[in-house]
Amino acid sequence: MAEILSTSLQEPTKVQAQEFWMRDDVKTFDIPDTVTEIGFEAFGDCTALEEVVIPDSVRTIDAFAFSNCTSLRKVTLPDSVVEISHNTFTNCPVEVRNSRFMVHAPTSAAGCFVVPEGITTIVSGAFAGCKQITEIQLPSSLTTIEDYAFSECESLKKINIPESVSVIGKKAFEKCFTLETIVIPNSVSVIGESLFEFCQGLLSVVLPNHIKKINAGMFCDCLSLKHIQIPESVEVVEYEAFKGCSALTELNLPTALKEIGRNAFENCRSLEGIVIPNSVKELERETFFKCLALKSITLGDSLVAVGFHAFSQCASLETIVLPRSLQSIEDSCFEGCKSLRTIEFKGMPANMNGFSVRNLPKVQQVLVPRRTYDFFATRIQPSSIVQEL
């Protein structure tokens, strides 16, 4: 068994990044009490390392510090540690925690996993890749769930989020394929991006009643999600928020909504109708791209711009009414809408951006306001389909 003395360190207060990376001759390591920081991949891929004692002097452990230490059986982690980066113990066959931080669950963990009372933080990636865990019980002391905390827990079916939690990081539940229902309590004020991305079995979600936005990619590729109640407090639906929710049949957007990001509802193939609130001023590119079943669209009377491919490939859409407020419409916004028969303009957009119906073979009429025939007839061909209201 090899022994490494404090004099072996390049710097007495820090184990440098990759300082012992891929050393296969060390089984135990007693870190000197002069050390305050353990650097990036400091002991990464030390496959023979079985035990490590981290002294009370250490306050910071950087990412991947002990990653792929596949023989590690015992870790002493003091409460002096106040900052632990992501994936610190990735692929290590040992549970790692102190009185406050749940740092790492071994990928061999199975069945129901109980996080003990007193834990305040689930560290980034703590349960990532624990494919055999089916249930996780979280303590009432918990306040923070960091990024990727439960990522790729492919068998996870049940988890409780206590009302003490205020922060949930990005992609915390991504690729939890068998998770079907979850309640995010009103205590949560911060939610990261892509929270439930690729949760293909997700059926039901309860969101906090005060949130202001549905974050980017929050429900991206949640293939089984049919219904969701968006809180009335929501003002922004960010990009790709519901992209690929192919089972979603209906969605009520709150009246307070002001912004809808690009690709927000792309490939929602079962969505049949949508009402855009009056407070929304712009539909960005590909907002409803490939919503194949979309038959009914009601646009708000404050809408000023319709972006590139906003309704492209909406194969079931037959009629669209564009509000008087509209100032700009992109050429290809209805491209591939093979059932579209009637387009009605309530006003006269200042910027038509080469708008045409050349790829819309079933369009029979473009209805325009009185005394605007010449404006539209010179921009839409064949002009014979342009008719005054």
If you average pLDDT over every residue of the chain, what do you get? 94
pLDDT greater than 90 at residue 353: no
**207-258 per-position pLDDT tens digit:** 999 999 999 999 999 999 999 999 999 999 999 999 999 999 999 999 999 9
When pLDDT is cut at 50, 70 and 90, the band that residue 355 belongs to is: confident
Q: Which residue has the tokens 């910071």?
A: 60
CB 114 within 8 A of CB 142: no
What φ, ψ does residue 329 adopt, rounded to 5°?
A: -140, 130
Q: Tokens at residue 300, please?
A: 């708000």
pLDDT greater than 90 at residue 264: yes
Domains with residue ranges and CATH for the chain: 1-94 (3.80.10.10), 96-208 (3.80.10.10), 236-249+266-389 (3.80.10.10)
pLDDT greater than 80 at residue 5: no
Rounded mean pLDDT, 133-149: 98
Q: What secondary structure letter does DSSP report for 11?
A: B
Percentage of the chain beyond pLDDT 70 is: 98
Q: Which neighbouring-strand residues pair with 183?
A: 206
Residue 340: what residue type? L
**88-97 per-position pLDDT tens digit:** 999 999 999 9
Q: How many Cα neighbours within 13 Å face the side chain of 273?
A: 4
Q: Which neighbouring-strand residues pair with 52?
A: 29, 75
pLDDT greater than 50 at residue 7: no
pLDDT greater than 70 at residue 157: yes
Neighbours of 341 (CB within 10 A): 14
Instruction: Map residue 313 onto helix, strand or coil.
Output: coil
| Strands across the sheet containing 282-283 | 213-214, 236-237, 259-260, 282-283, 305-306, 328-329
- Give the start-end residues of each E strand in 265-334: 273-275, 282-283, 296-298, 305-306, 319-322, 328-329
Rounded mean pLDDT, 8-36: 87
Torsion of CA 118, 121, 125, 131, to 10 degrees: 40
Kindly state the helix (H) or strand (E) to which residue 376 belongs, with its residue range: helix 373-377
pLDDT greater than 60 at residue 372: yes
When pLDDT is cut at 50, 70 and 90, the band that residue 26 belongs to is: confident
| pLDDT at residue 28 in the model | 85
CB 26 within 8 A of CB 6: no
Rounded mean pLDDT, 73-78: 94
Question: Pairing between strand 110-114 and 132-137?
Answer: parallel
